[in-house]
Amino acid sequence: MPWCAECDRFLSPPTVRGDGTCPSCGRPVEPARAGADSAATEEPVPFPWHLKLLAGAAAVYLGYRAWQGVVWVVERF
């Protein structure tokens, strides 16, 4: 939440002017601090190795099935 040190109070973000100044005193206000939840979402999420394995297995399986489909179509002609 934006904080105006001059007025010694918090400001709701919509009341802060577009240039980041306080509507009451015109002083620049402290920008809103990033919450703990937003900091947590910025952390890189490690991709689980078993999901990579699953994706690789699915790719191999789908490629195999696609090849089977090609063979099936070719053998019909």
Is residue 4 at the binding interface for Zn ion, with CB under 5 A as the rule?
yes
The neighbour count for residue 24, using CB atoms within 10 Å, is 13
Rounded least distance, CB 59 to Zn ion, Å: 58
Report how far apart, in Å, the C-alpha atoms of 17 and of each of 10, 31, 33 are. 14, 12, 17
Rounded least distance, CB 9 to Zn ion, Å: 7
Of 15-74, binders to Zn ion (CB under 5 A) are 22, 24-25
Cα separation, 45 vs 67, whole angstroms: 35
Contact residues toward Zn ion (CB under 5 A) are 4, 6-7, 22, 24-25
